[in-house]
Amino acid sequence: MDTRFPFIDFKLPQAIDRLPELAYNVWFSWNHEALELFARVDRERWDQILHNPVRLLLETDSSVWASLSQDTEFTELYTSVMKQWDEYQSQTTWFQKTYPQHTEAYIAYLSAEFGFHESLPLYSGGLGILAGDHCKSASDLGIPLVGVGLLYKKGYFNQKFNREGQQQTETVRYDFSKLPILPVQNENGERLTIQVPLADRTVLLQLWKIQVGRNAVYLLDADLEANSEWDRELTAQLYGGNQDTRIAQEILLGIGGVKTIRALGLPTAVYHINEGHAAFQALERIREQLESGVPFHVAVEIIRASSIFTTHTPVPAGHDAFGLPMVEHYLQSLFRRWNEHKQAWLQLGNTAGSAQFNMTHLALNTAALRNGVSQLHGQVSRDMFRSFHGNIDAREVPISHITNGVHLRTWLAPELQELFDRFLPGTWLKHQANLDQWQGIQIIPAESLWGVHMELKEKLIRFARANLREHRRRNDMPADKVEEVRSYLNPQALTIGFARRFATYKRANLIFSDLNRLHRLVNDEQRPVQFIFAGKAHPADLPGQEMIKQVYQVSQMDRFRGKIVLLENYDMNMARHLVQGVDVWLNNPRRPYEASGTSGQKAAMNGVINFSVLDGWWEEGYDGSNGWSIHGTNDADWQRQEQENTESIYRLLEQEIVPLYYNQGKLPQQWVARMKRSIQTLAPVFNTERMVMDYTNRTYIPALTRTLKFLANQHDAATKVADFKQFIRSNWHHVRILEIKDGTGQPAAGTAVKIASIPTDAANMLKDVTATIRFGPVWYKDTAVEIIYYEERKDGWHPVVVPMEPYRELEDRVVLYRARIPSHLQHQAHYSIRVRPVSANFATPFELPLLTSL
């Protein structure tokens, strides 16, 4: 028996005996040759079992393996794949080259869901797929990242439609012994478990491991006989159950996630939580600090320094919140042990003026570095949480952005990768975030790119027809109705894809606003258009399910039958077919409710052209030549935006998109040129290699460096920061701006300050401004005094901050400051002066968002 797989006895010929090593590492999911290797065992069976290599190993007869071990083509491919795998593990990585001093410190990545592959159904949608892609790129780059999540024995749900198009949810209980995961063992060879206090009891959790390239993701499983029936169901289903289930799951994920890392003995210095579901990790880590004798306020600073929070939700209602009594009930053992800190614990997540404990507020309070997932979403998040940060300007709220990407090797069609290999530098995959590596896209012959695209399109249509036939067969439709699907969808027609979670703000039905106009597009004999829809609605989202039903009903109308189709059970396998095979990717959410969106990024790298509202990532990606933008007045009411978006969709289809696709016969040169432009401008930017490098450079390493500083010398730096914050909060009310005086204008020395909408001579005149400030107990050097005014630029008004310098101490704790600004600016009418606390040990300028202004 192989000691690496002690619970399963694989009997394979020696010539191919490393196959289990591949099967139990989801590296296979982003290596096309590895996938082909497993497919060659039994291609039909491979498709039936959702490309699950473990089931393939377990359920294939030993005679087949004996035969394959003698098959030259199979063994040569096996040897090639294993060579790639060995080289992957041994090569020097980006992280080792860039940060060799930090290779021994782990970054913990906590997420409620992970989407690695269709054979591991532990995801519901974009959040989980992003987490999976993040982990894959972390492995590619050599970043020492360890993931932690929950192992759902029923996954999310399988989606089926009845004859009326009503979504029906099918739950499946998975046999973990047949998935690419393994139980974790302790030093005695026993299955490793942890215990998590929950309300008036303790829940026992077994640990499982998914190997993701060089790294591992650990999953917690509560389905153990030692637990009560209710507790065993806590890890039954992703996003299932009521509020009690939800808070219990989040305690298991957050607190259990930290306990998992401790049980594994991993030296972890940074904790990255993917959305607020795992925010309870901070409470467990504060508890650990308290147990070691660290004061509460210092413990909070240590945890803040080492925590990173990524928010994905641009709608306030989408952030989890629980009643304070519920939180007190489920965390009673923590509060009983540290009762003197109970109110401080609760304050970390309490929403001001309410009896709610908000998980996002907990994350914001316990993570010094926070980010949204696109430039626009960063702005939306700063606006959303401005009140949480006092009265500072929304643009200065300490929430940055790191725009999402997708894992290129997972989502790029192998046929396209093979084509790119012929025209791009040999290093392009290892340096995919380098724009220069993609210049060769321009020299790919148009007929070559178009030929591959048409192959992928035909592959998609075969897949879609099979999906539609199975739906009809299962619903006992007549044989002729089942067979007519074979003629659905035309490989030569312009094909538009719309696939994502069916939530009302994503407006899947927007294209149906004018069915007569849609009819003219779809049934144009010379220039037909067809649509493929797919996506799940949450079982509790009735409006989302009604939207699915509407799409289905339109697809069944005589004039749209076979030209508008809805596929059931959207998963990663279907997503690959769609983003690789359609011509246009349609996305029309209500702006700005799409935090980022990544399906369009997957489409773009495959030469599929995006047609989207300027929301999420597309606002950054669109340059006027690499796709189309759906017009709308952003500050108009919803009804007007809906009308404008709808009109823009139809107009662009009728006047630009359809004519461009059909303007040059069998080889649409101008269309292919836009495909190339899309690939060349978007693929190098919106991939997870760039994204994870951004996280590493901008959050992981700064957090690690700051944490090590805070832990050194018996927490000296952390204590100073914690004490400083306490002192400033207690004494800030003493800081007062006593007087502001304007001087007279004088010609500016050196480069003039340009201010829009004023005469040039006035713009070139500066004047002195002085401010007299009383600081009370606060040392003036622990503050920044600034003048702030606004300057008009092409894209709107922007704040200009001018530092004021201390000029003279007038009396004890009263200091005169001065600065020079454009002479036309008048106090209060045009500018104000503000005082804020500063510290070299702060992670961001407004880490302590206190402000005195006049």
Domain spanning 447-684: which CATH class is it, in words? alpha beta
- In this prediction, residue 317 carries a pLDDT of 72
Size (the chain), residues: 854
- In this prediction, residue 719 carries a pLDDT of 97
What is the average pLDDT across 754-758? 36
Number of H helices, E strands in the chain: 32, 28
Task: Specify whether the CB–CB gap between 747 and 765 falls below 8 A.
Answer: yes
Per residue in 702-732, is it b (16+ CB within 10 Å) or e — as a string? bbbebbebbbeeebebbbebbebbeebeeeb
DSSP 3-state of 670: helix
Task: Specify whether the CB–CB gap between 795 and 812 falls below 8 A.
Answer: no
Calculate the alpha carbon distances from 174 to 76, 123, 237, 239 in Å. 34, 14, 11, 17
Give the C-alpha separation, 157 to 237, whole Å: 8
pLDDT at 752 over 90: no
The encoded tokens of residue 677 equal 């432009």
Give the C-alpha separation, 511 to 612, whole Å: 12
Give the C-alpha separation, 333 to 46, whole Å: 48
CA 289 to centroid of chain Cα atoms = 30
- In this prediction, residue 5 carries a pLDDT of 63
Residues 223-277 pLDDT 10s: 999 999 999 999 999 988 899 999 999 999 999 999 999 999 999 999 999 999 9
Residue located via tokens 């709220």: 397
Strand partners, 182: 209
Give the C-alpha separation, 288 to 293, whole Å: 9
Cβ neighbours of 816 (radius 10 Å): 18
**Axis crossing angle, helix 446-474 with helix 572-581, rounded to the nearest 10:** 140
Q: Residue 277: which of 112, 124, 109 has the closest Cα?
A: 112
pLDDT at 755 over 80: no
Instruction: Give all strands of the β-sheet with 805-811 in edge-to-edge order.
Output: 736-747, 765-774, 814-822, 805-811
- In this prediction, residue 352 carries a pLDDT of 77
- In this prediction, residue 808 carries a pLDDT of 92
Confidence of residue 390 (pLDDT cuts 50, 70, 90): confident
Task: Specify whether the CB–CB gap between 745 and 767 falls below 8 A.
Answer: yes
What is the average pLDDT across 570-575? 96
Give the C-alpha separation, 199 to 255, whole Å: 13
- In this prediction, residue 15 carries a pLDDT of 96
Give the C-alpha separation, 41 to 65, whole Å: 8
Residues 71-91 pLDDT 10s: 999 999 999 999 999 999 999
Give the C-alpha separation, 138 to 678, whole Å: 25
Residues 285-307 pLDDT 10s: 999 999 999 999 999 999 999 99
- In this prediction, residue 269 carries a pLDDT of 93
Burial class of 654 by CB neighbour count within 10 A (0 to 12, 13 to 18, 19+) = middle
Give the C-alpha separation, 304 to 307, whole Å: 5
- In this prediction, residue 388 carries a pLDDT of 87
Domain spanning 102-283+307-320+369-401: which CATH class is it, in words? alpha beta
Report CA dihedral (537, 541, 542, 547) to the nearest 10 degrees.
-40
**Axis crossing angle, helix 296-305 with helix 701-731, rounded to the nearest 10:** 140
Burial class of 88 by CB neighbour count within 10 A (0 to 12, 13 to 18, 19+) = middle
- In this prediction, residue 3 carries a pLDDT of 54
Q: Residue 841: which of 756, 716, 757, 738 has the closest Cα?
A: 716
Q: Residue 815: which of 779, 846, 789 has the closest Cα?
A: 779
pLDDT at 745 over 80: no
Give the C-alpha separation, 197 to 158, whole Å: 32
Give the C-alpha separation, 441 to 843, whole Å: 41
Residues 769-819 pLDDT 10s: 999 999 999 999 999 999 999 988 887 888 899 999 999 999 889 999 999
**Single-letter amino acid, residue 806:** P
Q: 203: part of which helix (H) or strand (E)?
A: strand 201-212
Task: Specify whether the CB–CB gap between 324 and 332 falls below 8 A.
Answer: no
* Dihedral sign from CA coordinates of 246, 248, 251, 257: negative
Residues 592-614 pLDDT 10s: 999 999 999 999 999 999 999 99
pTM of the model: 0.95
Residues 469-496 pLDDT 10s: 999 999 999 999 999 999 999 999 999 9
Task: Specify whether the CB–CB gap between 818 and 768 falls below 8 A.
Answer: yes
Q: Where in the chain is the domain with CATH 2.60.40?
A: 735-853
Mind spelling out the 3-state secondary structure of 353-393?
Answer: CCCEEEHHHHHHHHCCEEEECCHHHHHHHHHHCCHHHCCCC
Burial class of 231 by CB neighbour count within 10 A (0 to 12, 13 to 18, 19+) = buried
Residues 524-552 pLDDT 10s: 999 999 999 999 999 999 999 999 999 99
CATH topology of domain 735-853: Immunoglobulin-like (2.60.40)
Q: Is the peptide bond before 592 cis (omega within 30 degrees of 0)?
A: yes
Task: Specify whether the CB–CB gap between 216 and 91 falls below 8 A.
Answer: no
pLDDT at 751 over 60: no
Residues 666-713 pLDDT 10s: 899 999 999 999 999 999 999 999 999 999 999 999 999 999 999 999
Residue located via tokens 């649509």: 531
Average pLDDT value over all residues in the chain:
93
* Dihedral sign from CA coordinates of 382, 388, 389, 392: positive
What is the C-alpha end-to-end distance of the chain, expressed in Å? 76
- In this prediction, residue 148 carries a pLDDT of 98
% pLDDT > 90, the chain: 88
Calculate the alpha carbon distances from 324 to 248, 321, 345, 667, 756 in Å. 14, 9, 11, 64, 51
Residues 6+ positions from 422 with CB-CB distance below 8 Å: none
**Axis crossing angle, helix 359-366 with helix 296-305, rounded to the nearest 10:** 90
Task: Specify whether the CB–CB gap between 16 and 75 falls below 8 A.
Answer: yes
* Dihedral sign from CA coordinates of 482, 483, 488, 491: positive
∠ Cα 267 107 251 (to 5°) = 90
Provide the greatest CA pair distance for the chain. Answer: 96
- In this prediction, residue 764 carries a pLDDT of 65
Residues 398-443 pLDDT 10s: 999 999 999 999 999 999 999 999 999 999 999 999 999 999 999 9
- In this prediction, residue 7 carries a pLDDT of 57
Q: Residue 593: which of 685, 504, 496 has the closest Cα?
A: 504
User: DSSP secondary structure string, 616-662?
Assistant: TTHHHH--SSSEEEE---TTS-HHHHHHHHHHHHHHHIIIIIHHHHH
Give the C-alpha separation, 773 to 654, whole Å: 64
Strand partners, 820: 768
∠ Cα 158 167 250 (to 5°) = 55
DSSP state of 843: S
- In this prediction, residue 11 carries a pLDDT of 84
Cβ neighbours of 67 (radius 10 Å): 12
Confidence of residue 2 (pLDDT cuts 50, 70, 90): low
Q: Where in the chain is the domain with CATH 3.40.50.2000?
A: 102-283+307-320+369-401, 447-684
